[in-house]
Chain A
Amino acid sequence: MSITMITRRSLLFYSRFIHQLNVSTTARRRDVFNIQDETDFKSKVVNSKKPVIVDFHATWCGPCKLLMPRLEIVIAGTNDAVDLAKVDIDDLSEIAMEYGVEAVPTVMSFKDGKPVERFIGLQDDDQISKFVKAIQ
């Protein structure tokens, strides 16, 4: 089933299976990154030519774990037009502080190196889609 044939509803239905395949698919995706350090953030987010969604998350945060796969699916649906950068706030506290992250998950959209919009907390797929569409 090619991407263009998948409706939003069937995406939700298949998201369960995609989530289970997550381990192997994410590794090969070119549009999803686990940011390693300041330099990485600079090159993949600040200096990116494409819009980037930055997912500030933490290992101790339950809603973050639920949100992440939802973000990945929506980003996949942009057909490489938007990237997803994941930032663990304990590993990269300086970056999180710099962008005023207080609660997690905090998701920010970046365009031309600058933050545009943000949302905090778990959102449903419609809200996430709307958020990502707004940056495209």
Chain B
Amino acid sequence: MAPITPKGPNEYDFIVVGGGSGGLAASKEAARLGKKVALFDYVKPSPKGTTWGIGGTCVNVGCIPKKLMHQGALLGQALEDARHFGWEFPEEKSHNWGFMVQVISDYIKSLNWGYRVALRDSGVAYLNEFAEFIDKNTIKTFDKKGTEKTYVADTILIAVGGRPKYPNIPGAREFGVTSDDIFTLPYHPGKTLCIGASYIALETAGFLAGTGIETTVMVRSILLRGFDNQLAEMVGEHMQEHGVRFLRGWVPTSVKLIEEGKDGIAPRLLVTAKQSDGDQTWEEEFNTVVFAIGRDPCTPDLKLENAGVQLSPTTGKVITDDADKTNVGNIYCVGDTAENRPELTPVAILAGRLLARRLYAGRKTLTDYDLVPTTVFTPMEYGCIGLSEEKAIAKYGKDNIEVYHSHFQALEHALPKRDQNRCYAKLLCVKSEKERVVGLHYFGPNAGEVTQGFTMGFKFGATKEDFDELIGVHPTTARNMTELEITKSSGANPMKKGCCG
């Protein structure tokens, strides 16, 4: 669509800085609504030199390669299970890391191209230039060759996401890698140490172990901070039972090089650590060290002080209101860069799209940042909607929360005799509101699919009775959500016996 307000060559109605989930959604929607839009995306290489194309973290070094590698690992497990269903194949299985990296990388590059085509078809000008602010309407950009340009816009959206943190210890940047690098590691990772307790650390450890790699996770204190504690421990226990070694209560103190890697072979590294609460020290040799201890917003390089945009003093993220507006009237922020938002792709996509509609289509709908469903794609997956048990109790009071729960086994695991009674479902209900469900937790296969389905019920304020009145689909694991009878308060054993009853 042609722009309504004629503007000069470097003048736009809407400039979006950052071509990730939020930026792409907002820019395409704004262009669809007739605005003259420019999108700036530029990836600064990681300390290891890794870089990537348009699409942001999710497409290049997040959700997409993660889910593909997770699937790769699950298929390895499926091969084991297959023998129990009568499949006969003589050899022991082996996994080709380089092959998986290559095919996933090729697929991602096809996605990068697809986004470029989509932007062109939408009429968004895409510029592979690094943008920084000169004032609230003006940005200065640099391309790969260092050429500088200036652009002006009525409205600017900051959607630059974040990058992995490194700890302040010797050798971390020089010899460690992060999620920026692991998906395209040009050598087999070898014996790997994942440092961190985030879902990134656990998911990474999960798919590495699942492809036959000797994997250790080093955790300072609890697992999956911010998630339900009980489910977080279940995730960890399951990983441990399936071959991942956990070092609980340790922090790394240095990473040293023993021997350089060369010709496609991993280096040899020495990691030293000390106890989080104690004096003991420890050291061990690894080939790869992955830091997954958190992410920092990409705000420092934007020179936001030139535009007067206020950042959080603790996180460095951009402070926004319910309408995603910063303290500067024409500057907005969505996605991981914004303060106090779930760092998830679908959240950023919806926020970007709704923002464009509020700006240019006269709509008023705000993004609902509560009741966000999510799933952790560890070897046994964990999906949740709403509050953790701790947050539910804190918000409504322990006496006002009824917890219904059950262990169960997936039918598919019966023959391989795997993960018996390992799966788990829990509903957190507010007694004073007719047992309205404020938290749903599912630990089992296909958690993403199960969680997505039940999100609809949350949207309409479903109660426990609504869940009970659902007719289940059989045989499925999702069905367990519709027949939870045992409460934590009763003290009864939540283990399942038999089936179909």
Contacts and interface: CB of A to CB of B under 8 A. Distances in A.
Q: Do A and B share a complex?
A: yes
Interface of A: 58-62, 89-90, 93, 97, 102, 104
Contacts of B109: 58-60, 90
Contacts of B110: 58, 60-61
Interface string B384-412: 00000000000000000000000000000
Contacts of B120: 97
B237 interface: no
Contacts of A59: 106, 109
Contacts of A61: 106, 110
A89 B106 contact: no
Contacts of A60: 105-107, 109-110
A104 B114 CA distance: 10
Interface string B101-120: 00001110110010011001
A93 B119 CA distance: 13
A102 to B, nearest CB: 5
Contacts, number: 22
Contacts of A97: 116-117, 120
Given A60-B105, A93-B116, A97-B116, 5 more contacts: A89-B113, A90-B109, A97-B117, A97-B120, A102-B117
Contacts of A90: 109, 113
Is chain A's interface secondary structure helix, strand, loop, or mixed overall? loop
Q: Interface extent on B, as a size class? A: under 10
B65 to A, nearest CB: 14
B120 to A, nearest CB: 5
B106 A62 contact: yes
A104 B120 CA distance: 16
A123 B71 CA distance: 31
B41 to A, nearest CB: 13
Nearest to B117: A102
B355 to A, nearest CB: 27
A60 B105 CA distance: 8
A102 B117 CA distance: 6
Nearest to A101: B117
A102 B106 CA distance: 16
A97 B124 CA distance: 13
The residue in A59, A60, A89, A90 that gathers the most chain B C-beta atoms within 10 A of its C-beta is A60
B411 to A, nearest CB: 36
B154 to A, nearest CB: 26
17 contacts: A58-B109, A58-B110, A58-B113, A59-B106, A59-B109, A60-B105, A60-B107, A60-B109, A60-B110, A61-B106, A62-B106, A90-B109, A90-B113, A97-B116, A97-B117, A102-B117, A104-B113
Nearest to B120: A97
Contacts of B117: 97, 102
The interface centre, meaning the residue of B105, B107, B116 with most chain A CB atoms within 10 A of its CB, is B116
Nearest to A93: B116
